[in-house]
């Protein structure tokens, strides 16, 4: 007989778990989620790889700054550097050895032709001159004696008191003594001239532009390394030397007017005229040397000064376009520029330089005002290269 308070056997059996269909559905769902996660990861990696390739490709294309050629507002003027020189300039050296006793002119002094600049002491020359004068007096005495003897023997020859041979010998002795006297006189004059060189004089009217003479200083003549004791320059007119590029040389003619501008006289110009040309092109500079002359009554123009010379040339040289010097490429085929097209491709165009002013270069052909020229182009740039154009500051640039 069973106990009504004992637990039932049926209550001890655990309930049945999910069936096979439910488990299958859960497994399929987990697999789908896993596939989706894997697909998203693969797609993300592929996208990142493509972006990296694109960034690398963009980085490989250089970014350049472009400039437009500018019109030269003074295309009819040819401005070139020139060098001012005195109309005449002489370096004064000593022609005899000695010591500087006095110097009578200093830099900036105006001197006249023949005016003394310095006086030298040359005791050796003085003694040599005294000896030469004594030798000359001896030669003169011998010549007089020989002349008297020759006249006497000539008189005795007329009376047949002596032979002709003896008379001829006395006449020959007179000729020899005369020659010795002339040689002694020439030596005296030479030493007198050498003694005269102890006084240094100005060769022409001018201004003293340098002085190296010092009292007591030893002066040695014939020393190639010696400095001139004085330099005298005639600056009443000035010579201006300019090297004109070959392209403009045909436009310059004798008598052509030009203007000079000097940095120490801002706003002031000086008038000069072309006087002569070398009529030859220097192989190193490719330019023709010309000389101009300018009046310098007020002494404003100084020897050795730098000046800008402006010529009015015949129109037709150059197309009036200028570029910075940094935009020019120099290669074996001559100067060229790199131009960017609308498609971002580079075209290297040869150009002809009419005038190179350093920072700015004026061209005589090769480009047009509409060209976009690369500033500071890489040396390795070639036709067909692709570039990015840098955006200008404060504007919308283009990106090819």
* All residues at 6 or more sequence positions from 120 whose CB lies less than 8 Å from its CB, including other chains: 94, 96, 98, 99, 100, 101, 197, 198, 199, 200, 219
pLDDT of residue 393: 58
pLDDT at residue 52 in the model:
64
- For every one of its 400 residues, what pLDDT tens digit does the chain have, with 9 covering 90 and above? 445 555 554 555 555 555 677 777 777 777 777 788 877 777 777 776 666 665 555 556 778 888 888 776 555 577 889 999 999 999 999 888 889 999 999 999 999 999 999 999 998 888 999 999 999 999 999 999 999 998 888 888 888 887 888 888 888 988 999 999 999 999 999 999 888 888 999 999 999 999 998 999 898 887 777 889 999 999 999 999 999 888 788 888 899 999 999 999 998 999 999 999 998 998 888 889 999 999 999 999 999 999 999 988 754 444 567 888 888 888 878 888 899 988 888 888 888 777 777 788 877 677 888 888 988 888 888 888 888 888 765 544 444 4
Positive or negative, the CA dihedral 7, 8, 12, 14 is negative
Determine the 3-state secondary structure of 350 from DSSP: strand
Using alpha carbons, list the distances in angstroms from residue 132 to 125, 143, 183.
10, 16, 10
pTM of the entire predicted model: 0.58
- In the prediction, which pLDDT does 318 show? 47
Which pLDDT score is estimated for 37? 82
SS3 321: strand
- CATH level 3 topology of 91-201: Helix Hairpins (1.10.287)
Which residues share a beta bridge with 244?
288
Per-domain residue ranges of the chain? 63-72+318-389, 79-84+235-312, 91-201
The answer to whether the 63-72+318-389 and 79-84+235-312 domains have the same CATH topology is: no
Superfamily of domain 79-84+235-312 in CATH is Efflux pump adaptor protein, beta barrel domain (2.40.30.170)
CATH 2.60.120.10 describes domain 63-72+318-389 = no
Kindly report the number of other CB atoms within 10 A of residue 240's CB atom: 24
Task: Give the count of beta carbons closer than 10 Å to the beta carbon of residue 364.
Answer: 17
């Amino acid at each position: 007989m069973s106990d009504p308070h004992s637990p039932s056997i049926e209550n001890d059996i655990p309930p049945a778990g999910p069936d096979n269909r439910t488990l299958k559905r859960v497994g399929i769902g987990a697999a789908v989620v896993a596939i989706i996660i894997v697909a998203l990861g693969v797609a993300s990696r592929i996208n990142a790889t493509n972006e990296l390739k694109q960034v690398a490709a963009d980085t490989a294309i250089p970014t350049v700054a472009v400039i437009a050629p500018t019109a030269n507002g003074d295309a009819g003027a040819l401005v070139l550097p020139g060098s001012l020189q005195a109309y005449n300039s002489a370096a004064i050296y000593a022609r005899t050895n000695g010591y500087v006793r006095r110097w009578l002119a200093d830099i900036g002094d105006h001197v006249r032709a023949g005016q003394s600049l310095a006086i030298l002491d040359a005791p050796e020359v003085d003694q040599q001159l005294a000896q030469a004068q004594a030798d000359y007096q001896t030669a003169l005495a011998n010549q007089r004696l020989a002349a008297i003897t020759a006249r006497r023997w000539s008189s005795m020859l007329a009376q047949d008191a002596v032979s002709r041979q003896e008379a001829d010998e006395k006449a020959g002795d007179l000729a020899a003594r005369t020659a010795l006297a002339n040689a002694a006189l020439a030596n005296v004059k030479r030493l007198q001239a050498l003694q005269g060189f102890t006084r240094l004089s100005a060769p022409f009217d001018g201004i003293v532009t340098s002085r190296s003479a010092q009292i007591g200083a030893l002066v040695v003549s014939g020393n190639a390394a010696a400095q001139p004791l004085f330099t005298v320059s005639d600056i009443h007119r000035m010579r201006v030397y300019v090297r004109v590029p070959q392209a403009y040389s045909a436009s310059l003619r004798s008598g052509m007017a030009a203007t000079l501008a000097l940095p120490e006289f801002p706003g002031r110009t000086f008038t000069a005229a072309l006087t002569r040309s070398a009529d030859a092109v220097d192989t190193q500079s490719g330019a023709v040397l010309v000389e101009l002359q300018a009046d310098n009554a007020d002494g404003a123009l100084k020897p050795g000064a730098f000046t800008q010379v402006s010529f009015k040339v015949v129109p037709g040289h150059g197309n009036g376009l200028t570029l910075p010097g940094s935009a020019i490429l120099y290669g074996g085929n001559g100067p060229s520029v790199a131009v960017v097209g609308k498609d971002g491709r580079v075209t290297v165009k040869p150009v002809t330089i009419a005038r190179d002013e350093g920072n700015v270069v004026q061209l005589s052909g090769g480009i047009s005002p509409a060209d976009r020229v690369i500033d500071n182009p890489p040396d390795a740039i070639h036709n067909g290269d692709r570039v990015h154009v840098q955006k200008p500051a404060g504007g919308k640039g283009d990106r090819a």
